Amino acid sequence: MKFAIQRDYLVRSVQDVMKAVTSRTTIPILTGIKIITTEKGVTLTGSDSDISIESLIPVEEDGKSVVDIHQQGGVVLQAKFFSEIVKKLPSETIEIEVVNSFQTVIRSGKAEFKLNGLDPEEYPHLPQIEEENVFKIPTDLLKTMIRQTFFAVSTSETRPILTGVNWRVEDGKLICTATDSHRLAMRTAAIESESTAHYNVVIPGKSLSELSKILDDSSEAVDIVITENQILFKTKHLLFFSRLLEGNYPDTTRLIPTDTKTELQLTTKDFLQSIDRASLLAREGRNNVVKLSTLESGIVEVSSNSPEIGNVIEQVQSGNIEGEDLKISFSAKYMMDALKALEGSEIHIQFTGAMRPFVIRPMHDDSILQLILPVRTY
């Protein structure tokens, strides 16, 4: 293998596939990046067996030559060193050549590295996915949907299925749901698909978070293919594979209350800041719990108390309070996470009593909801 390549393209591509590489693997070759030349260009692959990322650096882009292949071939190089080296090379062009028994020479300017490489044939094969039933989502919408749900997955392995985000595809819609059993985030969006296939799968939270990091903010579509145990995200030069979690995701629809006893309208930013202040003292307590009470004249009182340190009390003006008076306690962290995930400057919160889950939604937007279970303190 021998080729010359524009440094910027290689650096970007290496950064992308590095997202899948971990040093904590039981398969030594997976600490490496697989580099293969094809007619189309140079393909880099990184994998931790849960996530695999393949990035293609095309021979040419926008009429500009990017890769110049002198001899076909491949090698696996230690990801940790290779990624650091390419970042720091002095010249805009890098020449990479496998000399013998996979020893690889990397030349740029007057610097020359020799790295011991491995046989790419020994690198595990990526899952083979039949590209039927592709559906499409714009990249930026996909990133938003991940951001709005991912944070609510469970970080505990007691119920492994809850460490993933449930994706249901049905009737031209994608419904993403995450819950750690104390709060729940749900986001719905229309998808573009030629098939009527239904899916109900659970994607590891970590996979979605890594995917989100390597996608740009364009409105170009991402192709998504779901199989029995894998999901593939496909952009112009990138393939992102993730395994799916095994098991059935709990039916969360019955958790969402349908009736309302008290409803508040609030300005997202003001309410978020007051919860943030109240949580400054609450953090010391075991649960980071703040209290909310409705007062007269559309005033909501947010408070918390930490006997050893002190207390805080704050009044927030509500746009509208309807229904019964309410005193309720909840995790400040969950509330802040939920408010940050919502879009829109105004929200409404629907309560059905101090001990029942409550639902936060942006005004005039039913595509997203955040649900939080209160804490018993009153």
Environment class of 15 (CB within 10 Å of its CB; exposed 0-12, middle 13-18, buried 19+)? middle
Q: Cβ 3 to a second copy, closest distance in Å?
A: 19
Provide the minimum distance between the beta carbon of 238 and a second copy in the complex, in angstroms, as a whole number.
Answer: 27
Which positions lie near a second copy, rule CB under 8 A? 78, 81, 84-85, 88-90, 103, 110-116, 273-274, 276-277, 280-281, 308-316
In the complex, the smallest distance separating the C-beta of residue 285 from a second copy, rounded to whole angstroms, is 13
DSSP for 259-316, please give it: --SEEEEEEHHHHHHHHHHHHHHHTTSSS-EEEEEE-STTEEEEEEEETTTEEEEEEE
Q: DSSP readout, 74-115? A: EEEEEHHHHHHHHHH-SSSEEEEEE-STTEEEEEETTEEEEE
- Closer residue to a second copy, CB minimum distance, 169 or 289: 289
Residue 146's H or E segment, with its range, is helix 139-150
Residue 273 beta carbon to a second copy: minimum distance, rounded to whole angstroms? 6
Q: Which C-beta is closer to a second copy: that of 275 or that of 359?
A: 275
CB 72, min distance to a second copy, A: 23
Closer residue to a second copy in complex, CB, 70/269: 269
Helix (H, G, I), strand (E, B) or coil at 338: helix
Q: Would you give the DSSP letter of residue 375?
A: B
Residue 168 · residue 199 · CB < 8 Å: yes
